[in-house]
Amino acid sequence: MANPNKTRGTAWESAVRNFLNAFLGLVDDDGVFLDPFDGMNVRRPAQEGARDIGDVHAVPFILECKDVKSPAVPTWLRQAHVEAVNAGFPYGVVVHKVRGLGVRSGRVHFDVRTWTRTRTALGLPSRVMAERYGFTATVRGLDSGRWYLTTDVERFAELVHDVRAVSRAVR
């Protein structure tokens, strides 16, 4: 019998990938890539070697997807950062499934540093970034390493679109 936790995690990763590809207009109505060779397609990479490279690649983000009841966001964010470095991507975030809700309501968590770097890349002041993409902050004690900012998957998809647009404009 397959590991039910692994099965649930794989299903969540696939749901996130499929939602982002559809939102970003990278697939047709049947979910087939419009251009299978496009590097901007959101993918679930095969894990190779000892270094984990994240669950989902949505250039320029590595997504560490979690479908668990009890969140451990600061630990997950450290894991996402390491995986982003391993994969050679600038940003690592966590996508946590919310029980009983669809993929668009999943929670996307950014550590403060990643959020700030993303905001700076977009050229946005903090308040505008928070309002435009629906971020809320969680502050735990004086250690900013335990602080994080959260939005939902739908707003995150908008953010991915906008970061990609800025990157294209810079080239």
List pLDDT tens digits, range 17-46.
999 999 999 999 999 999 999 999 999 998
Longest dimension (CA), the chain: 51
pLDDT above 70: residue 146: yes
Mean pLDDT of 96-100: 94
Contacts of 157 (CB under 8 A, 6+ apart): 19, 20, 23, 24
The CA distance from 27 to 5, in Å, is 28
| Rounded CA separation 149/22 (Å) | 25
* Domain ranges for the chain: 4-170
The Cβ of residue 32 has, within 10 Å, a number of other Cβ atoms equal to 9
